[in-house]
Amino acid sequence: MKTINNVVCSFCGCLCDDIEVNIENNKIVNVKNACSLGLSKFLNYNKHRILKPRIRKSKEFVNVSLEEAINECVKILSNANYPIIYGWSNTSNEALRVGIEIAELIGGVIDNTTSVCHGPTIIGVQDIGESTSTLGQIKNRADLIIYWGSNPLHAHPRHLSRYTALSKGRFIKTRKERKVVVVDVRKTATANIADVFIQIKPNSDYELLTALRYAVNNGEIEQDEVAGVPVEKIEELAEMMVSCKFGALMFGLGLTMSPGKHRNIEAAIALVTDLNKYTKFVILPMRGHYNVTGANNVTCWITGYPFAVDFSKGYPYYNPGETTIADIIARGECDAALIVASDPISHLPIESARKLSKIPIVTIDPHETPTTRVSRVVIPSSYVGIECEGTAYRMDGVPLRLKKIVDPPDGIISDEEILKMILSKLKGD
Ligand code: SF4
C-alpha cells in the first residue's frame, strides 16, 4: 500500500491541502483529514464514469475513437456562427488557458459558472474594489468572523476548522478568542455554533447592510427595526465590528443571489471600507466549485475580463446580462456549445436549459450528467487532482498544485490534452 501526503482535495473552494490518501493496486482505499464531501469524492469518483468517446448517430449514442470524436467536435465548432464555450470551475487553469485560445480562434463566447453564482460579487468588486486577505491571515489574526448568507458547515465543512472559528492561528489560538456571527434568513447549522445569530427577513440584505453602515458611522437609526432585525441588535453588531482587532466578513450565495445582487455586494464592500477607518476588516466570497476562482483569474489575465467574454467581434468584449451564456441561450443566439467539466442542463434556468438541449453540444466530462445525455458528442476525461495534475486557485486566490495520485482508466486523458487536440485540429496543424 502506498501513502500520499499533502494531497489537495478538489471538491470545494477550500482546496484543503493536507489530505492523506492510501492507494492499493491503483485504487484509493483510505482517506484521512477530508470532510464527508471530500471523502465521498475520493472514494466514489469512479462511479458513473464514461469510458469511451461517443457520438449521437440517428438519436442513439455510438462509441467512437477519440480521434473521431475530436473531428466531430471540430466540425461542429467550425460550422457554428456563434458558439459558446462554458464550464471551467471543475478543471485546471491549464485546461482553461487552451479553452480561451479556442474561443478566440472560433470567435465564440467563453463563460464560466461564475455567471450563475458569484457573478454579482465580481461585478461589485469591479465597481468599488475590495479589502481582502488570504485565509491564512484570517486564521492567524481574525477575532471577529461573520458568515453572511452562507452555511459553511454544510457547503465547506472544513472552512471553520482550517481557517476561521475553530482553527488555531499564530496570534489567535482558541475559539474563545474569536467571536462568530451568522447573518441568515434561517437558523442554519453554522448559526447553531455562532455567538450571535441575526435572522434577517428574506431579500432585505441591502437594507441591513445600509443600516449597519449608518450605525458604524455613528448615525442614529430612527426605526425600531430594519430588515426584521431590532435596532439594538444592529447597534450591537456595529459595535462588535468597530471594536474588533481584525474582522472578516465572508458571504455566500444568500447575499449574491438575493434581490439587489451586485448592489448587495457593493453595500457589503462599502461597509468593510467604512470599518477600515476604525479597525482592520476584510471581505471574502465563499466560492463553491474548487476552481471557480481560478476560472475568473485565468480568464482575467488572458482577456482582461473574469467571465462572459465574447470574441465574436474579433476582440474580447464583456457585458454581463448580454454576454453571459444563460442570456445568450435564452435569446436563442448560439448555435453550438462546448461544455467542459460542468452540467448546465441541471443548473441553468429551465427555459435556457431547454433551448441549450436543442443545439449541438460537445461535452468533455469524466462522468454521466444530464448534459452528457443531451449532447451530440461526449468525450470522457480524467479527474484533475486524482488522475492528472493541474493548478487551481483556492477561494482566497492562492494557487495550489493538484497531484495525480492514481492512473486514469485506459485511453482516458485530461481536459487539457483533449482541448489541445481540438485546438490543433481547428488550427489545421
Ligand atoms: S472542506 Fe472542501 S476542500 Fe476541504 S476536504 Fe471538505 S470538500 Fe474537500
Instruction: List pLDDT tens digits, range 127-151.
Output: 888 889 999 999 999 999 999 999 9
pLDDT digits (tens, 9 = 90+) for 174-194: 999 999 999 999 999 999 999
Closest CA to 149 of 35, 283, 239, 326: 283
CA distance 363 to 366: 10
What the block records as the C-alpha cell of 272 is 468593510
pLDDT digits (tens, 9 = 90+) for 270-295: 999 999 999 999 999 999 999 999 99
pLDDT at position 24: 96
pLDDT at position 58: 82
Task: Assess whether pLDDT exceeds 80 at residue 118.
Answer: no
Confidence of residue 32 (pLDDT cuts 50, 70, 90): very high
Q: Of ligand 1's atoms, which has the minimum distance to the CA of residue 34? A: 5
Distances (CA, A) of 301 to 119, 287, 306: 17, 19, 8
pLDDT at position 127: 80
pLDDT at position 126: 82
0.85 exceeded by pTM: yes
Distances (CA, A) of 109 to 79, 80, 100, 112, 243: 15, 12, 9, 10, 47
Q: Which residues line ligand 1 (CB under 6 A)?
A: 9, 11-12, 14-16, 34-35, 37-38, 156-158
Burial label, 177 (beta-carbon count in 10 A; 0-12, 13-18, 19+) = exposed
pLDDT at position 295: 95
Q: Of ligand 1's atoms, which has the minimum distance to the CA of residue 290? A: 3
Q: Whose CA is nearest to atom 7 of ligand 1?
A: 38
Q: What is the chain's Cα-based Rg?
A: 23
Closest CA to 282 of 142, 152, 163: 142
Q: Compute how many other C-beta atoms are within 10 angstroms of the C-beta atom of residue 92.
A: 26
Average pLDDT on 34-52 reads 96
pLDDT at position 125: 81
How do beta strands 109-112 and 309-310 pair? antiparallel
pLDDT at position 294: 96
pLDDT at position 362: 98
Average pLDDT on 30-51 reads 96
pLDDT at position 302: 96
Closest CA to 104 of 296, 308, 314, 302: 314
Task: Assess whether pLDDT exceeds 80 at residue 301.
Answer: yes
Instruction: Categorise residue 322: left if φ over 0, alpha if ψ from -120 to 50, beta otherwise.
Output: alpha
pLDDT at position 115: 85
Average pLDDT on 211-219 reads 96
pLDDT at position 380: 98
pLDDT at position 122: 79
pLDDT at position 121: 80
pLDDT digits (tens, 9 = 90+) for 311-339: 999 999 999 999 999 999 999 999 999 99
Q: Whose CA is nearest to atom 2 of ligand 1?
A: 12
Closest CA to 343 of 322, 360, 357: 357
Task: Assess whether pLDDT exceeds 90 at residue 398.
Answer: yes
Residues 19, 33 contacting (CB under 8 angstroms)? yes
Instruction: Please report which residue ranges of 276-404 form alpha helices under DSSP H.
Output: 292-303, 325-330, 344-347, 350-356, 370-373
Output the CA 359–ligand 1 centroid distance in Å: 35
Confidence of residue 77 (pLDDT cuts 50, 70, 90): very high
Task: Assess whether pLDDT exceeds 90 at residue 404.
Answer: yes
Q: Of ligand 1's atoms, which has the minimum distance to the CA of residue 37? A: 7
Angle at 135 between CA 96 and CA 169, to 5 degrees: 150
Q: Whose CA is nearest to atom 4 of ligand 1?
A: 16
Task: Assess whether pLDDT exceeds 80 at residue 119.
Answer: no
Place of cell 495520485: 405
Q: Whose CA is nearest to atom 3 of ligand 1?
A: 15
Task: Assess whether pLDDT exceeds 90 at residue 256.
Answer: no
pLDDT at position 116: 81
Pocket test of ligand 1: the residue of 6, 15, 35, 161 to mutate, having most ligand atoms within 8 Å of its CB, is 35
pLDDT at position 261: 81
Average pLDDT along the chain:
95
Task: Assess whether pLDDT exceeds 90 at residue 299.
Answer: yes
Is the alpha carbon torsion for 47, 52, 53, 58 positive or negative? negative
Output the CA 12–ligand 1 centroid distance in Å: 5
